[in-house]
A and B are shown apart, each in its own frame.
Chain A
Amino acid sequence: MAQYIARRLLQAVLLLFVLSIVMFALVNLAPGGPLAGQGQTRRVRPERVAMLKRQFGLDKPLPTQYMIWLVGNDWMRVDLDGDGKPDEYGTRRGVLRGDFGFSFRTRKPVLEEISLRLSNTFYLTVVTLLVAVIIAVPVGILSALKQYSSFDIVATTFSFAGQAIPEFWLGLILILIFYAWLKNPFTGEPLLPSGGMYSLGGEFSIPDRIVHLVLPVTAGALGWIAWYSRFLRSSMLDVLHQEYLRTARAKGLKESRVIYKHGLRNALIPMVTMFALDLPYLITGAVFIETIFSWPGMGRLYYQSAMQRDYPVLMAILIISGALMILSNLAADILYGFLDPRIRYD
């Protein structure tokens, strides 16, 4: 087992390395550049473009830029004033030493930019996924046990709707209903806030936090509920028709024990993979939900960086979510070994 994990980790490192090259090339070769269309400026003065290019290190050939991104430039002299002669040692330490560079937009270290958003996104997505799982699992089980019952039909209808309704539309409708139309009968204030993580100017309070979570979590969780409940339903249905359940019943086990101990446990195994693959979402966030509910998270940061070609931020988010994706895949495979004794890794 340890050998297997070691081998997979080594593969993961190699994969990440290749991934970083591909990502770097794609991000940089995509049409457009970070020196145009920023903010109000349509036409950036060529003098300014030239200056920024040097400051951002974009004047160097792409392989050199990648090298600097990876291992930094504090060991070589760089030309800063544009006279063609190297002046002094660079200041970048490179991704391998934990320096993801600075954001073109704010000129602040990328990790600082990300850390300011990460906890906000994590907070929202963890709650969203938990709510989704807590609702989806019972719904999925019941739907499978009572296949074609009216509950199943209603659940199926809702889950198709849930998958089909775009988050941004649902979010706006929720705001319209619960913020603009419905009023709190006691205070006359809107029933729920239109967005943000907490009320400005108030003390920290759990109820206030929960009130601010209701709408974004609802809008965000619906799709997940639909997705997980459908998946669990079909995986449960698969299991229910297996021979070993008949054996369990034949042994005279109680029906609940048959379903939950022998059925559900097996039906949940494919869910583990699914869930593991969704884990990077905890970090990358949801751009529409964050935009509509004014949530200062990673999704918005990513979108903004992509639109403005903020390469360093973009690369950092891509690499971090790539690494997470690889790691959660590995975690899923390892968990499999524990959950399903039929699977052996040698």
Chain B
Amino acid sequence: MRKIHFPTVVLIALITLALAIGLSGCGGGPTPQISATQPPAKTQAPQVTEVIEPSAPPPEPTVAETAVETAAVSESNSITILIPEDPPSFNAVVGDTGYDALVMNLVMLGLTGVDPKGNVYPELAAELPTSENGGVVVDEEAGTMDVTWKLRQDVQWADGTPVTADDVVFTWEAIMNPDTGIWVRGSDYVDSAEKIDDYTMVFHYNTIYPGYLIQLGGEQLVVWPSHYCNADEGFTAWECARQPLSDGPFILNEWTVGDHMTFERNPNYFEAGKPAIDQVIVRTVPDESVRKQMMMQGDADLIMWATEPVVTDLKDKPGINISISPYARWVMRLFPNQAAKGTTDPDASPHPVFSDVRVRRAVRMAIDVDTIANEIFLGYGKPVWSEFYRPPYACDVPRPQYDPDGAKALLDEAGWKDTDGDGIRECHGCETAKEGDLMKVDFYTYAEYGEPLELTQQYIAENLKNIGIDSQLTIYEGSVMWADPESGGIEQNGDFDLDLWDDGYSGIDPTDYLWELYYSSAAEPGNGWNIVRWKNEEFDALLDEAYSLDEARRKEIFCRMAEILDEEVPVIMMFSTINADAYATRLQGIQSNINDVVSWNAADWKVTQ
């Protein structure tokens, strides 16, 4: 040991280095199967680097093989998509990160999809079931319904097996398994799923559920192959969600976890002549400015979910286009707690400031939404003042005025006056607080959104200061903000005065979303997300009635709700944020979609040049 000289140390070091390179060379690192001339591996089962063993037997290479082998991938017909984090799996409903939905759309099909305007279109379904075509049969007396789905008969999995009703029923039963399944929207309403014949199956509902069209479709759910997925592993954990068997436009070829995935064109995709692109590469690039640089250098063709600053920087660059979806989904909003901070019962312990509706209205008047939308959100924020701001349920509600003087007058009227001249109002004859109490609130937002939201919080605090409300600002992690009551969730436990975050719904049916946010029994901790603890009997009754298939009546109901929400201001809606994707101009067919992620129509994409 004592005889070691420097050269020896260096030698050892070099050996270690060589080992390290070798180690990652043969194991974790490069598995360079795909090149312009190389055909993909023989089996259709994609390779997830290193340790993941196929749980189900790899599907037999069949018809697909020869076609894939001959399809040489030319670089010009290959596109690269950049995302900030690795998808947890191909099963988007489990992780709900959006990046899982991106790759899921490339390889899997659901019964239906939803386009940017909110129209549902059939994927695996031969047609959309409706009352008119007999697909939906309502039992008015029992308050139940049956929905019959007829499947296309020309879709097959990549191993040549046809997609049948067995797969649909199998998927549904896997979801509903309490040990290994997961709660999905509408799952409380479905009693059972039943196969009629190979291409027909029925969902039996125990209620009238207007969202039935996306029961096994939309942005989160797809149909899984019953002969390939292992039900014992369970819906949330099964291996086929890491090595999916494709029935969509592309086939996963290789996944190096944390780094990239490559997809090849599915030669047996059911839509003739599609997809037009031979290869899709999805790369994980965590840093936003690096993603931006790669886009500008032409090393990438698509950035999913471009934020306002990225859109601003990229929109005028040559060779880059931005797709902004016609409607936005996420609406920034303030949640004024109507129960005293730390409590959850607004009747037993009303909030000293916000339980008075005049104060909530005054706050709404005091916020300069246009300045925030234009300055902080760079002109891409769009003022929104109603839950019903986009089709199919857009209601005509007059926009509240930005009027700080009016807000001050309203606070005076509510008994909040600044008599000692320190700029903060005190209670002098107010109905909800003790005489002389300061008008002071704790004001929280969440960290993950980043700088724009921090600036917005500060700006709103200035707006509030301007009308005499003092606020203490804090920023929490999302995992603290929205945790369940036992884990100390701030929202669930009512541990706040005023909160700022974004929310909204995707898809076609707002009823469940409205229930969670505004229904009175959703105000109980651990029961829903009515975290402002607002209760309104008329609203509850309207919502109960909205679980109906009578579209005309539903529109009336929603617009009456819009009026109630406008009057009562349980939540102060401010503006919607951008939903955009940046893409290279050589890539055509990109349509940003709030009801799904950008890859919803990947089969229709083309590369020009």
Contacts and interface: CB of A to CB of B under 8 A. Distances in A.
Most chain B CB atoms below 10 A, which of A31, A48, A172, A190: A31
B318 interface: no
Nearest to B258: A296
A31 B17 contact: no
Interface string B27-59: 111101011100000000000011110000000
Interface string B76-91: 0000000001101100
A52 B489 CA distance: 16
Nearest to B16: A126
A130 B36 contact: no
B13 interface: yes
B500 to A, nearest CB: 12
A26 interface: no
Contacts of B50: 115-116
Given A32-B479, A123-B29, A308-B479, A296 B85 contact: no
Q: Which of B21, B179, B486 has the most CB of A within 10 A?
A: B179
B283 A43 contact: no
Interface size class of A (residues with CB under 8 A): 35 or more
Interface in A16-70: 31-49, 51-53, 55
Contact of B35 (A112, A203, A291, A308): A203
Given A118-B28, A126-B16, A195-B285, A200 B260 contact: yes
B487 A120 contact: no
A194 B480 CA distance: 34
B559 interface: no
A49 B1 CA distance: 58
Q: Which of B16, B183, B259, B283 has the most CB of A within 10 A?
A: B259
A175 interface: yes
A122 B23 contact: yes
A221 B35 CA distance: 33
Given A42-B503, A200-B262, A119 B489 contact: no
B483 A45 contact: no
A201 interface: yes
Given A38-B97, A119-B27, A201 B36 contact: yes
Interface in B296-321: 296-297, 299
A230 interface: no
Interface string B81-110: 000011011000011111000000000000
Contact of B477 (A32, A80, A117): A32
Nearest to A337: B1
B204 to A, nearest CB: 19
Interface in A207-238: 209
Contacts of B85: 304
Contacts of B517: 43
A296 B290 contact: no
B261 to A, nearest CB: 10
A2 B177 CA distance: 55
Interface stretch (A100-108, A150-158, A319-327): A100-108
Nearest to B2: A338
A80 B297 CA distance: 52
A107 B286 CA distance: 22
Interface stretch (B367-375, B525-533, B539-547): B525-533
Contacts of B179: 55, 80-81, 87
A102 B29 contact: no
Contacts of A307: 448, 477, 479
**Chain B interface residue number, banded:** 35 or more
Q: Is the interface of B mostly helix, strand, loop or mixed?
A: loop
A51 B183 contact: yes
A116 B30 contact: no
A150 to B, nearest CB: 26
Contacts of A147: none
B287 interface: yes
Contacts of B503: 42-43
A196 B294 contact: no
A94 B85 CA distance: 29
B52 A112 contact: yes
B137 interface: no
Contact of A34 (B286, B293, B479): B479
B72 to A, nearest CB: 12
A83 to B, nearest CB: 9
Contacts of A126: 16-17, 20
A290 to B, nearest CB: 8
A201 B32 contact: yes
A112 B239 CA distance: 13
A40 B528 contact: no
- Of B36, B188, B290, most buried by chain A (CB within 10 Å of CB) is B290
Contact of A33 (B1, B260, B484, B516): B484
A23 to B, nearest CB: 18
A122 B28 CA distance: 10
A127 B20 contact: yes
B200 to A, nearest CB: 29
Residue from A42, A209, A304 having most chain B Cβ neighbours under 10 A: A42
B95 to A, nearest CB: 6
B201 to A, nearest CB: 24
B23 A33 contact: no
Contact of B51 (A107, A112, A296, A309): A112
Given A53-B484, A126-B17, 4 more contacts: A37-B480, A47-B188, A49-B526, A130-B13
Which are the 3 A-B pairs with shortest beta-carbon distances? A296-B258, A37-B478, A33-B487
26 contacts: A31-B483, A36-B481, A37-B480, A44-B482, A45-B516, A51-B178, A51-B183, A52-B182, A80-B179, A106-B95, A116-B28, A116-B51, A123-B21, A127-B17, A127-B21, A130-B16, A179-B297, A194-B293, A194-B297, A197-B29, A198-B30, A200-B34, A201-B281, A294-B259, A296-B284, A307-B477
